[in-house]
Amino acid sequence: MRQKIVAGNWKMNKTLEEANILTSEIAGMVADEVKSDAKIIFCVPFPYLLPIKNQLGTNARIAIGAQNCSEHESGAYTGEVSAAMLKSVGIPYVILGHSERRQYFGEDGKLLAKKVDIALKHGLTPIFCCGEPLEVRESNGHETLVKKQVEESLFHLDADAIKKIVIAYEPVWAIGTGKTATAQQAQDMHAVIRKHLAAKYGQSVADSISILYGGSVNAANAKELFACPDVDGGLVGGASLKSREFTEVIKGA
């Protein structure tokens, strides 16, 4: 059985005080209401990693992740945060290659391969994002592009290493738009990704990798999306900023 994961991507939102309130509300609701053993991850802005980790204390249900890390080991890279630093403060997860990083910060497949390597080297679990823009979907190039994104940044890994990756398929046209992929569209792409992994690494490795769906996941659509056989949970933006909404998303897993 693959691990079901619901990860909230807070992006660049909230003050620390608001983040503390959100955390305590969700932790309380999860303790009272969530029966499933889905892994819950809060991917928070850098300044909140330690405060939120400390706030959660021994809460074993909720883990913390960063939203990015440098491709460099250490040194004169003003403003950057390294994988070793994240590890040293006890952060287990890091989102890599989010479409906003690709679009606004010019991150490409080669750079992301380096980030994946350095994250793994320091024992972090990358949540590696892929997904096509609208025009690629409309010209029916989505499967080719997403397979290429996975190849470029992950296929240099050996089987033991790729098993440590979580993949998030996030069609760019569905991110923050309220326009979710249908469950069928999500399932179809997840199956394509898994088949691609199986062709390279074998079926049992492919079957062990959690593939999350992201893009306008909310309380109303999570259950149907997460019920798809190849959808192992979600990477959730907007809905992860509201405690009731996010708890309902978690319940869908």
Contact positions vs ligand PGA (CB under 6 A): 9, 170, 175-176, 214-217, 235-239
Q: How far is the CB of 84 from ligand PGA (least distance, A)?
A: 25
Beta carbon nearer to ligand PGA, 157 or 168 = 168
Residue number with the shortest CB distance to ligand PGA? 237
Give the bridge partners for 8, in sequence order.
Answer: 42, 236
**Spatial distance between the Cα atoms of 209 and 207, rounded to a whole number of angstroms:** 6
100, 107, 170, 245: the catalytic one is: 170
Which amino acid would we find at residue 15?
Answer: T
Which of 181, 209 has the CB closer to ligand PGA? 181
Least Cβ distance, residue 103 to ligand PGA (angstroms): 11
Give residue for tokens 């983040």: 19
Least distance CB 89 / ligand PGA (angstroms): 23
Are 111 and 121 in contact, with CB atoms under 8 Å apart?
Answer: no
Residue keyed to tokens 């059985």: 1
Residues 6+ apart with CB under 8 A from 94: 65, 66, 67, 68, 69, 83, 86, 119, 124, 125, 126, 127
How many residues in the chain?
A: 253
The closest alpha carbon to 240, from 232, 228, 248, 230, belongs to: 248
In the annotation, is 98 catalytic? yes
Residue with Cβ nearer ligand PGA (97 or 230): 97
Please say which residue, 7 or 201, places its beta carbon nearer to ligand PGA.
7
Compute the least distance from the CB of residue 176 to ligand PGA, in Å. Answer: 4
With left for phi above 0 and alpha for psi between -120 and 50, is residue 130 left, alpha or beta?
Answer: beta
Q: Report in angstroms how near the CB of residue 158 gets to ligand PGA at its nearest.
A: 28
Q: Is 170 a catalytic residue?
A: yes
Residue 168: Cβ-neighbour burial (10 angstroms; 0-12, 13-18, 19+): buried
C-beta of 52 vs 236, nearer to ligand PGA: 236
The catalytic residue positions are 98, 170
